[in-house]
Amino acid sequence: MKGFKIIVLAKQVPDTRNVGKDAMKANGTVNRAALPAVFNPEDLKALEQALRIKDQYPGTTITLLTMGPGRAAEIIREGLYRGADGGILITDRKFAGSDTLATSYAISLAIKKMAPYDMILAGRQAIDGDTAQVGPQAAEKLGIPQVTYCEEIVSINHKKVTVKRRLERGVETMEAPLPVLITVHGSAPECRSRNAKLLMKYKHAQTITEMQEATDDYIELHDSRPYLDIPEWTVADLNADEKWLGLSGSPTKVKKVTNVVFKAKESKVLTDSDEDIERLIIELLENHTIG
Amino acid sequence: MNNIIVYCEIEEGGIADVSLELLTKGRKLADRLNCELEAVVVSNEIKGIEKVVFPYGVDTLYLAFDEKLYPYQTLPHASVLTKLFEEQKPQIALLGATSIGRDLAPRIASALKCGLTADCTSLEIGDHRDKKQKKDYHDLLYQIRPAFGGNIIATIINPDTRPQMATVREGVMKKEIFDPKYKGKVKKLKTSEYVSKEDFVVKILERHIEKKKIDIKSAQIIVSGGYGMGSKENFEMLFELADVLGGDVGGSRAAVDAGFIPHERQVGQTGVTVRPHLYIACGISGAVQHRAGMEESAMIISINKDPNAPINSIADYAIIGDVGEVIPKLIKFYKKNAK
Ligand SMILES: Cc1cc2nc3c(=O)[nH]c(=O)nc-3n(C[C@H](O)[C@H](O)[C@H](O)COP(=O)(O)OP(=O)(O)OC[C@H]3O[C@@H](n4cnc5c(N)ncnc54)[C@H](O)[C@@H]3O)c2cc1C
């Protein structure tokens, strides 16, 4: 069987586990530059599902598609080190402030430009927003079916794919025709690690913007190896209607943001002595907290 | 027209709790906005479903009944709702933030090009002034949700698009009968006008849904254990304490990851949100993602050997000590003093 053409949607996300004071801008958007940036965990798992298909069906090509600032090219390299065949970065100031609707619009235009394809894989959700919306919204804009929360791609041929999906309270096995968009759940297996050979091969993969500072020799070397080129697509490349992008294309607005400050309550500190604990129990019984 | 509509999820032939919670909230919002509350059920035929729905104060119940519409599938349900929303033009549409709601809502929002906020923990009505355009908006839906890994709480609005769509997590809103005798209208939808053959290209080959689920959300007392419990065996103590107090057992993600308890019992941002009368946190440090799921408990007791554990700062009582000693004492003194 000939291989498949797979697009993996990936996002570079701020590591929300380490949020400092300076991480928020005054307008309520996230100051991504102030945080360490990582490959969104469920997107990596989506990549692994694609790589497994490639293992099984040689000739399969995997292209990463990411939207973000210039530095998001980092995760394309991360994907190349693990076995992806290429990656495209959608980047433009005009995308700034996009909510999931505007983002899915831009992504769907890029995907149309990459057509034909057999399958789009994406993480279920990104850890910075936890919305799980961009995948289904892109599928709707492309007019293709979606299968969300994939735990395993059970089998695939050129007509259809069988997917096991994880629900809150169980599992479902679905059969969907190609092309289809599949979002991958956190319960799917981890992505393999970087491959040393691929790391050597792709460590100089760069976008045009990243090449700005390069020496002539470096540029020459780069040009002789087209696989090192990470294309950058802008609004113009996508032929996008600007009214559906950025803030104007985003029906949701952030009205207010409050940092989670946990108000320190008047807490009573007790020891583990018999007296302290018995007194606590009696108090709880008296005020009917426990019966 | 311009009403509030709630998508009612079907679970084992009945309406899911989360949808009843949304109806409860929807009724309050409808009263505030002076509009009607509507509900929609998309399923195979369920006799008498209106008797369950109307007491929540529902004025109109849309029924899209067809054998092929159960179990849930994305495309046909999205088609029914998209068309219904186009016809009825609700100002607010609410869905549960469940496997179903989070799969379905974005598909509809994309088709209608309207705003959608996922996983709201609170919904309010309020005004907004767009300072740039000097434009005032009245009675918008404030969609309040934790964002950015639970580190911030964001209020989201959709000033210009309708419906204002939001999903809400299960268990964060109260479920309350509005009036047991409340009577609304039933409107049966002719499903052939709402779905097409192409909506059924995806097939469900197999389905295993666990029937009776662990559900700690309704417990009034929750004894919760963290990584500091040390082992699965030590969790037995928590079950015993919960048992004598008449509560249930929860845990932190670290305890789930370590295999001490199943994920259904996880409290926090990626688990369930609970608001019991009493929450006893045993060997839990109190990471922000954990607190997001329990900080609204009426009373919090922490048991931690580290006096500086963050959980202590939100606890009403912080017992500094080893869980292995403190928990048996709690059981012992409870038994001694309770009548
Ligand atoms: C996106 C995201 C989502 C998350 N979602 C959740 C979530 O939903 N729920 C959740 O809980 N976490 C969640 N987490 C993880 C969270 O950040 C913490 O890692 C986790 O809550 C820590 O669990 P813990 O308190 O049990 O473990 P630890 O942080 O390891 O704390 C153990 C505590 O036990 C105490 N201790 C140890 N031994 C004893 C003893 N013998 N007696 C008394 N005390 C003892 C220690 O002093 C310590 O305070 C999430 C993280 C991320 C990044």
Which pLDDT does position A76 carry in this prediction? 98
Q: B4-200 and B216-337: same fold?
A: yes
As its CATH architecture, domain A5-255 has 3-Layer(aba) Sandwich (3.40)
- The CATH number corresponding to B216-337 among 3.40.50.300, 3.40.50.1220, 3.40.50.720, 3.30.565.10 equals 3.40.50.1220
Inform me whether the C-beta atom of residue B207 falls under 8 Å from chain A C-beta atoms.
yes
Q: What's the angle, vertex CA B278, arms to CA B273 and CA B280, rounded to 5?
A: 85
Q: Which residue has tokens 């992806």?
A: A84
A23 to B153: CB separation less than 8 angstroms, yes or no: no
Q: Closest residue of A to B334, CA-based?
A: A281
Gap between the Cα atoms of A249 and B317, Å rounded: 49
Q: How far is B114 from chain A (nearest CA, A)?
A: 6
Q: Closest residue of A to B330, CA-based?
A: A277
pLDDT tens by residue, A116-173: 999 999 999 998 888 999 999 999 999 999 999 999 999 999 999 999 999 988 899 9
Which pLDDT does position B147 carry in this prediction? 79
Gap between the Cα atoms of B176 and A238, Å rounded: 50
Mean pLDDT along residues B196-201: 97
Read off the pLDDT band of A32 (50, 70, 90): low
Going by C-alpha positions, the residue among B246, B255, B225 that lies closest to residue B237 is B225
Chain A contacts of B128, Cβ < 8 Å?
Answer: 255
Gap between the Cα atoms of B161 and A250, Å rounded: 10
The three-state (H, E, C) secondary structure of B33-75, written as one string: HCCCEEEEEEECCCCCHHHHHHHHCCCEEEEEECHHHCCCCHH
Read off the pLDDT band of B151 (50, 70, 90): low
- Residue spans of the domains in chain A: they are 5-255
A274 to B329: CB separation less than 8 angstroms, yes or no: yes
Which pLDDT does position A262 carry in this prediction? 40
What CATH number was assigned to the domain covering residues B4-200?
3.40.50.620
- Residue spans of the domains in chain B: they are 4-200, 216-337
Q: Which two tokens mark B286? A: 């109190």
Chain B contacts of A30, Cβ < 8 Å?
Answer: 148
Q: Which residues pair with B337 in a beta bridge?
A: none
Q: How far is A105 from chain B (nearest CA, A)?
A: 9
Q: Is residue B28 helix, strand or coil?
A: helix
Burial, A256: exposed, middle or buried (Cβ in 10 Å; 0-12, 13-18, 19+)? middle
Read off the pLDDT band of B267 (50, 70, 90): very high
Q: Is the pLDDT of residue A55 over 70?
A: yes
Q: How far is A212 from chain B (nearest CA, A)?
A: 33
Read off the pLDDT band of A29 (50, 70, 90): low
Mean pLDDT along residues B21-28: 96
ipTM: 0.87
